[in-house]
Amino acid sequence: MDAAPLIVYVSLGFVQVLIAIYMGYKIVKREEKKEENRGEL
């Protein structure tokens, strides 16, 4: 598999991009929930 190092390194970088998008989404949702709770109080 001549392209293996290329595929592995680039894919691992890309997976981190996907995880970052998911984590970013979770952080935004968590903070919005906190804001809502503060508003209710």
Partner 1 sequence: MYWGLSLSAWVVVILYIAIVTGIGLYAGLFKPMKRFIHYVVADREIGGVISGVSATATTASAWAWFGLAGWGFVAGFPALFYPMIFILANFLLWGWIASPLREQSEKINSFTIIDHFKKIAGDKTGILALLGGMVVLIFAMTYVGSQLLAFGTMGEYIGWGQNAPLLFMAVFTIAYTFVGGFRGIAWNDMFEGMVMMLTMIGLTAFAIYEVGGFSAFVSGVTDVGPAYGGWVTVAAGTTAIGLGFTMLGQPHTIQRLIAIKDQKSIGYALPSAITFSFIRNTLPILTGISARLVFGEAGLPLGDPELSFLAFAELLHPIVLGFLIISVMAAIMSTVDSFLLQGAATFNRNVLENFFNVDLEEKNWVTLNRITVITIGAIGALIAYAWPGTIFDLVLYGFGGLGSAFGPPLVAMTFKWKYLNKYAIGTSYIVGLATTVLFVHNPVGDLDHTLLSFLSAAILMIIVGLATGERKE
The residues that touch partner 1, with contacts defined as CB under 8 A, are: 2-3, 5-6, 9-10, 12-14, 16-17, 19-21, 23-32, 35
Helix (H, G, I), strand (E, B) or coil at 3: coil
User: Which single residue is written with the structure tokens 């935004």?
Assistant: 28
- How many C-alpha atoms does 25 have within 13 Å on its Cβ side? 6
Output 17 or 40, the one with its CB closest to partner 1: 17
Q: What is the smallest separation between the CB atom of 28 and partner 1, expressed in angstroms?
A: 4
At closest approach, how far in Å is the CB of 39 from partner 1? 14
